[in-house]
Amino acid sequence: FPVTIEPQKYIVTCVNGGSLYSSNSSGNGFSYWLSQNQVGQKWVQNPGTGLPATGNYYGCGINLTGQYQAVNINGGNVYLSSSYGAFWNQPNISYTGAAYQVGYSYSGQYILIPATPVMLSTSYGKYWTSTIGNLSISASNAAAVSANGSFMALGASQFIYTSSNYGSYWKTIGVGVGTSDIRTISISATGQYMVFGDYDSFNSNLYSSSNYGNNFTFKTITAANGWGSAVSATGQYMIVTFNTSGAAFLSTSYGLYWNSLSTALGIGTLGTVNASMSLNGQIMVISSSFYASGPGGVFISYDYGVTWSKNPAGLTNQAYFGASLSGNGNYLLLAIGIVTGKQIGRA
């Protein structure tokens, strides 16, 4: 899936609160910036309509082209856009939980929301069901969908659940994470390559699979609480972030070898929240919820993770919970959420 990043393209960002926010003025709000030249280099404000004026924005998701977008607000309220973020609507569905990730097929037809219960749409968000084949779990924290929607993966407690037939039948896979939780999972275009970091308060593990989750290899690292992940279309490029220790790791070898990104990012103590990348892995994004000294920021690489820039084009330090980059690299959806007393959290 080769991708050419052209100079006149667009990135979209969103933040939460009660009034409009832009990179040129302070304040809160849910709004967009439209990048009019090389990805993320210049921004102008371009608010969408149909979203609530206030609320905490958690998980978000986006399809290949950026036409279809989703954001979870206040836990249990998903808003969808089929117009590149210009207009939004709320489907008549009921669930609870932050929906840390929203899984999209490339076309936008298949949408998987990990929550209580798990919700699936096979109709671009028009119709939804919580009765998904033989899936027996009542709740999930992480979700991923393959390019055509045939392969799906969920993370819940100590297990991975996978389906290779559009959600009709699910297989339970124990990956040996002990008492840890799984709050993030990402897959390649076909689902063959899979990666996640377990949510452990001490030393966590990086888990990767090259055979659709049937077997996993792991690497123990000095980091805690796996919180975000991303995989390129072929599976060659992978990122896993850890919240408590502010660690981020990159693999350019299909998960065989891993390198810390802490030096490349030039960051100290922070909470890395979420990660995303374009299909070919050229553009990578890591959102940070906080630094030791205050709110976090956004880190973007345009060269496969070799060099990184912080808060491009005047984006300010905020508690960036979620980051979802469209596969073609044209749209980036960012969500900010505020926890009382301290700007921390995750999407």
Mean pLDDT per 10-residue segment, the chain (347 residues): 32 32 27 40 54 75 93 85 90 84 96 93 96 89 95 90 96 74 91 86 80 88 76 96 79 93 69 85 86 73 91 74 87 66 25
Asked if 317 and 295 count as a contact pair (C-beta separation under 8 A), the reply is: yes
- Positive/negative CA dihedral, 46, 50, 54, 56: negative
Quote the DSSP letter at residue 100: -
For the record, the structure tokens of 32 come out as 């967009």
Query: Whole-angstrom Cα distance, residue 318 to residue 276?
Result: 18
Cα 264 versus chain centre, distance: 21
- What strand order describes the sheet that includes 152-156? 142-145, 152-156, 159-163, 171-174
Q: What pLDDT does residue 109 have?
A: 98
Amino acid letter at 115? A
**Percentage, residues of the chain above pLDDT 90:** 38
Preceding amide of 52 cis, omega within 30? no
Query: Whole-angstrom Cα distance, residue 37 to residue 182?
Result: 38
Cα distances from 66 to residues 83, 91, 120, 336, in angstroms, run: 9, 19, 19, 19
Q: What pLDDT does residue 292 have?
A: 59
Q: What are the φ/ψ torsions at residue 265 (nearest 5 degrees)?
A: -75, -20
Q: What pLDDT does residue 42 have?
A: 45
For the record, the structure tokens of 280 come out as 């070919």
CA atoms within 13 A on the CB side of 324: 32
